Amino acid sequence: MGDHDSAPVWIVAGAPGAGKTTVGELLATRLDPHPAVLDKDTVYGSFVAAILAAAGREPGEREGEWYDAHVKPHEYQGLTATAREIRRHGCPVLLIAPFTGQIRDPRRWTEWTGLLGGGQVRLVWVSCEPAVLRERLLARASERDGAKLAAYTQFVERMRPDEPPPVAHFPVHNTSDRNGVWPPPALTEQIGRLLEEVNGANG
CATH number at residue 148: 3.40.50.300
Averaged confidence pLDDT in the chain = 92
Q: Judge whether residue 101 has pLDDT over 90.
A: yes
Q: Judge whether residue 176 has pLDDT over 90.
A: no
| 20 lies in some domain | yes
Q: What is the mean pLDDT of residues 109-136?
A: 96
Lowest mean pLDDT among 11-15, 173-177, 184-188, 189-193: 173-177
Residue 143's pLDDT is what?
83
| 1 lies in some domain | no
Q: What's the CA gap between 88 and 158, in Å, rounded?
A: 34
Q: Judge whether residue 121 has pLDDT over 90.
A: yes
Task: Describe the strand order of the beta sheet including 121-127 as a list of residue ranges.
Answer: 36-39, 93-96, 9-14, 121-127, 170-173
| 160 lies in some domain | yes
DSSP class of residue 5 equals T
| 105 lies in some domain | yes
DSSP H or E stretch at residue 170: strand 170-173
How far are the Cα atoms of 35, 53, 120, 145, 182 from residue 26, in angstroms, in the given order? 12, 34, 20, 24, 10
Q: Judge whether residue 141 has pLDDT over 90.
A: no
| 178 lies in some domain | yes
Q: Quick one: pLDDT band at residue 59, thresholds 50, 70, 90? A: confident
How far are the Cα atoms of 12, 71, 76 from residue 44, in angstroms, in the given order? 17, 10, 10
Nearest to 167, CA basis, from 110, 114, 84, 99: 110
Number of domains, the chain: 1
Q: Judge whether residue 3 has pLDDT over 70.
A: no
Backbone angles phi, psi at 160, to 5 degrees: 45, 65
Residue 70's pLDDT is what?
96
Given the DSSP bridges, would you call strands 121-127 and 9-14 parallel, antiparallel or unpaired? parallel
160: left (phi over 0), alpha (psi -120 to 50) or beta: left
SS3 25: helix
Q: Quick one: pLDDT band at residue 1, thresholds 50, 70, 90? A: very low
For residue 172, give the amino acid letter.
Answer: V
99 compared with 181, residue with greater pLDDT: 99
Share of the chain above pLDDT 70, in %: 95
| 202 lies in some domain | no
Residue 179's pLDDT is what?
62
Q: Is-contact 168 124, C-beta < 8 A?
A: no
Residue 106's pLDDT is what?
98
| 133 lies in some domain | yes
Residue 78's pLDDT is what?
97
Query: Which domain, by its residues, includes 88?
Result: 9-196
Name beta bridge partners: 39: 96
Backbone angles phi, psi at 32, to 5 degrees: -135, 115
164 compared with 143, residue with greater pLDDT: 164
Q: Judge whether residue 56 has pLDDT over 70.
A: yes
| 201 lies in some domain | no
For residue 89, give the amino acid letter.
Answer: H
Q: Quick one: pLDDT band at residue 166, thresholds 50, 70, 90? A: very high
